[in-house]
């Protein structure tokens, strides 16, 4: 990969040790002749990443979610350093970041694109989500009746607490907590998972690449809340529809050359089992 000569740092200063780590990595970068800029704000303004070769995010996955839309629109790769808890997106630990940072700056890394969702709600301008789009009633205590169409064809009508439309990246987030499937991040699909559906046979559905989804409220007085990555919300007028599709934009995620998705799953989800392939009998 190309050398990193322009590097932006986005730091969640609320995470223990994040500021100190950012200073140490920034010093390493500057010693290598890299131009550095830094913010401790949770989100970055439009255009702030323009012209950067990479963005180093120090915090948890939530910190990356706050940067993801701007990074995707600017086509700037993101280096995620974990100072949070699970850290599916922040794949570098502090020790790994310190040990590998000179090599990263010299281009020793791979970039994997992660699909995102585009969402338009009624007359509200469209927005992007890296993990998921959640649709529910504005009154969180109420069940909502939602009708889902895929490419104009009725899927079904759900009576539930809400619907989660997840990317493969987001399959380890709210989707997983709601009983949805784990999806490999290389798959270009959308996972639709109902939350506490009234009909027990309603289960997750995997929808194909290129599908255009449309969600309509069927409850006569429903006002929908559309939440993107748990960070931004769109309030939808009565009876307005929500449209969801796989976006053109991708988040470019920096990973080590020896990165293994399944090794991360085993470690983060505490799966058991040997890493040595067993021979057949």
Q: 86: which DSSP letter? A: S
Six-digit token string for 90? 């922040």
- Show which residues are catalytic: 61
Beta strands in the chain (DSSP E): 6-11, 35-39, 54-59, 78-82, 110-121, 124-129, 132-137, 144-150, 153-160, 162-166, 190-195, 205-207, 213-217, 224-228, 232-235, 242-255
Neighbouring residues of 189: CB distance < 8 A, sequence distance ≥ 6? 168, 183, 206, 207, 208, 209
Q: 155 phi and psi, to 5 degrees?
A: -85, -65
Q: What stretch of H or E contains 22?
A: helix 18-31
Six-digit token string for 55? 């963005």
Which one, of 247, 131, 238, lies nearest residue 191 by Cα?
Answer: 131
Cβ atoms 135, 163 nearer than 8 A = yes
Cβ atoms 133, 226 nearer than 8 A = yes
Residue environment code for 110-144, b if the CB has 16+ CB neighbours within 10 A, otherwise e = eebbbbbbbbbbbeeeebbbbbbbbbbbeeeeebb
When computed from its CA atoms, the radius of gyration of the chain, rounded to whole angstroms, is 20
């Amino acid at each position: 990969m190309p050398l990193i000569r322009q590097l932006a740092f986005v730091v969640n200063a609320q995470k223990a040790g994040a500021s100190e780590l950012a200073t140490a990595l920034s010093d390493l970068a500057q010693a290598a002749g890299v131009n550095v800029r830094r913010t401790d704000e949770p989100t970055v303004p439009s255009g702030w990443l323009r012209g950067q070769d990479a963005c180093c995010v120090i915090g948890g996955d939530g910190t990356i979610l706050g940067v993801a839309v701007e990074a995707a629109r600017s086509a700037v790769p993101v280096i995620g350093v974990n100072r949070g808890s699970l850290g599916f997106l922040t794949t570098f630990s502090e020790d790994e970041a310190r040990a590998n940072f000179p090599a990263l700056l010299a281009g020793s890394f791979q970039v994997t694109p992660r699909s995102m969702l585009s969402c338009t709600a009624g007359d509200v301008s469209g927005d992007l989500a890296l993990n998921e789009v959640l649709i529910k009633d504005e009154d969180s205590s109420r069940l909502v009746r939602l009708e889902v169409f895929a490419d104009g064809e009725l899927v079904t009508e759900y009576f539930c607490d809400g619907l989660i439309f997840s990317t493969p990246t987001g399959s380890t987030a709210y989707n997983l907590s709601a009983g949805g499937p784990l999806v490999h991040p290389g798959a270009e699909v959308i996972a639709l998972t109902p939350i506490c559906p009234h009909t027990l046979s309603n289960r997750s559905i995997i929808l194909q690449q290129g599908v255009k989804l449309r969600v309509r409220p069927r409850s006569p007085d429903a006002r929908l809340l559309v939440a993107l990555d748990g960070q931004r919300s769109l309030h939808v007028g009565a009876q307005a529809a929500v449209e969801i599709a796989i976006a053109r934009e991708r988040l470019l995620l920096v990973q080590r050359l020896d990165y293994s998705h399944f090794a991360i799953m085993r470690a983060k989800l505490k799966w058991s089992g040997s890493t040595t392939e067993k021979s057949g009998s």
